[in-house]
Amino acid sequence: MQAYSEFIYGCHTVKMYNWEKPMENRIVQMRKNELESIRYTSRFRAFNRTQYFISTQLLSLATFGSAWLLGYPLTIANTFPLIMAFAFMRDNIACWVPLAFEKFNEAKLASKRIHAFMHLTVKQEHQSSTNTLL
């Protein structure tokens, strides 16, 4: 958003020096990068939401299926409390762990940006200052 504001603000300079095409190309590239980032984040969130809703069913299927195959009796007294325990685990694990990964990735990206900013080279132009008397 800041780049667009700066682009609009500096429109006169762009027109004066005929920088229209390079600036347009840069903005198009920035939009492509931004859209790619949004798509990646949306896919990641969709995967996390899907995992949240199907984790209890898959865990129950694996647990009760293996218990049945091993010959353990499946009764109401031992299945319902276990399903409730899976639901509690789902709320804690399937909701907070993906959120932690998401925040970790955001922090890693911010760290890379800060690192790149801190290692920019500073260009200093030496101007000779001459004192003139009028």
**pLDDT for the residue 53:** 84
CA-CA distance, 59 to 51, in Å (whole number)? 11
Domain ranges of the chain: 2-115
* pTM score of the predicted model: 0.51
Residues with Cβ < 8 Å from 59, sequence gap 6 or more? 86, 89, 90
Nearest to 51 by CA among 84, 95, 103: 95
Mean pLDDT value across residues 55-84? 91
Q: Which residue has the higher pLDDT, 94 or 132?
A: 94
Torsion of CA 97, 100, 102, 103, to 10 degrees: 170
